[in-house]
Amino acid sequence: MSTPSSPPPGAAPAARRSLAPDLARGFMLLIIATVHVHMFRIAIGGGAGYSLDGPLDTAATAVIALFAENRGYPMFAALFGYGLAQIHRRRTAEGREWPWVRRLLRRRGRWLVAIGLAHAVLIFFGDIIAVYGLIALAFAGVMRWTDRRLLAHALAWGSAGTLAYSAVNTAMMSAGAEAAQVTSPLEDLAARVFMLPFFLPLLIVISVFPFMAGVWAARRRLLDEPGRNRALLVRLAAIGIPAAVLGGVPHMLANIEVWQPSAPAATAVFWLHMLVGYAGGFGYAALIALIALRLGDRRGPVVSALAATGKRSMTCYLLQSVAWLVLMPAYTLDLAADLGDAEAVGIGAAVWLATVILADLMRRAGDKQGPAEWFLRRMTYGRPEREKVATPA
């Protein structure tokens, strides 16, 4: 087996990073923040549903259903697959053989699982980091699949996985009771541990399709070379985003209680909502890549801050969860009990903005890594070797 003499591997240097993936991650975190606080305040606060207290709340719930709910996680999962495929491509280009690269990808996956499980148990039950780690462990081999095999498996997971998730979601909603309010940290911890084995498989089955789509996109360098792929990106944005909005209308009508579908209809409506959500997530990523192409080498303060957030996306994602833990439960500041839908969306946007400011401060302070990214890189690649300085005899 060949052993390249290149420096120890690590993440791509900042000067070589493409703008589009980081910009997409930074924007995606806004979607995740608003959706999480809008939806999970119900689970955390024990509410019976959306407040819909007036036109502003109704409008907020409608906008979240059409443009954000189940639109952010497909983009995040696709970007994860894109990033993992980039690691595979870079290490292979260095001359590393497949068994070495596979071990690297799986080691990264194991540490993502460890970080995610700690996150889910200690802070927030809706973790996605462990989901991506498990996908990396189970599906590292797809990096060597043909395009045809990759897309066939992706479509199968996309259709069957979303249908299974939709059926379970409808059954849980029909079982329908009002969520019990969590009143103590130990009760909250017990609830998170209890939910974990049920929640993780559901998130995995709906994340494999966008993950594999991200691997396919990385092979074509859609986000790294948007100029070469402009025509495809335009089609993805022009078709994907409108499809997500139009396909989300039935779900939106149910959320704002204009329509009350039967259980079979609710399953079909939510399935459609999730399927077009994939199109919306991919469309958002394509639109951001086109924006990055238009920007070229220009980096204003807003773009730089958003890219800095995307570069530190795991740290910012974890900080959002800390914010929910501080703000929402009855045993902390107890905001969830009194929040309306529009207020929840506003708080989500404010928390996201705070993480953007923090990420930009880290960028300005010598482009420091986020602590989560630093830890994952250290655990994946090990301690960087110090340069050996020759001493005169």
Quote helix, strand, coil % in the chain, to nearest 5: 75, 0, 25
337 phi, psi to nearest 5 deg: -65, -30
Residue 392 has pLDDT above 60, yes or no: no
- Tell me how far apart the alpha carbons of residues 306 and 293 are, in angstroms, rounded to a whole number: 15
Residue 392 lies in a domain: no
Cα angle 63, 25, 371; round to 5: 125
Note whether 89 and 224 are within 8 A (CB): no
pLDDT at 13: 52
Helix (H) or strand (E) holding 352: helix 341-364
Residue 46 has pLDDT above 60, yes or no: no
Residue 64 lies in a domain: yes
Residue 42 lies in a domain: yes
Neighbours of 194 (CB within 10 A): 11
Nearest one of 119, 137, 138, 106 to 196, comparing CA atoms: 119
pLDDT at 16: 61
- Amino acid at site 12: A
Note whether 333 and 49 are within 8 A (CB): no
Phi-psi label, residue 320: left if phi above 0, alpha if psi -120 to 50, beta otherwise: alpha
User: Which domain, by its residues, includes 326?
Assistant: 14-381
User: Of the given ranges (112-121, 154-163, 352-361, 383-392), which has the lowest mean pLDDT?
Assistant: 383-392
pLDDT digits (tens, 9 = 90+) for 55-93: 999 999 999 999 999 998 888 999 999 999 999 999 999
Residue 49 lies in a domain: yes
Our count of domains for the chain comes to 1
Q: How confident is the model over 140-155, as a mean pLDDT?
A: 96
Residue 125 lies in a domain: yes
What rounded mean pLDDT belongs to the chain?
Answer: 89
Note whether 143 and 215 are within 8 A (CB): yes
Max Cα-Cα span within the chain: 85
Residue 128 lies in a domain: yes
Nearest one of 372, 351, 374, 370 to 362, comparing CA atoms: 370
pTM given for the model = 0.91
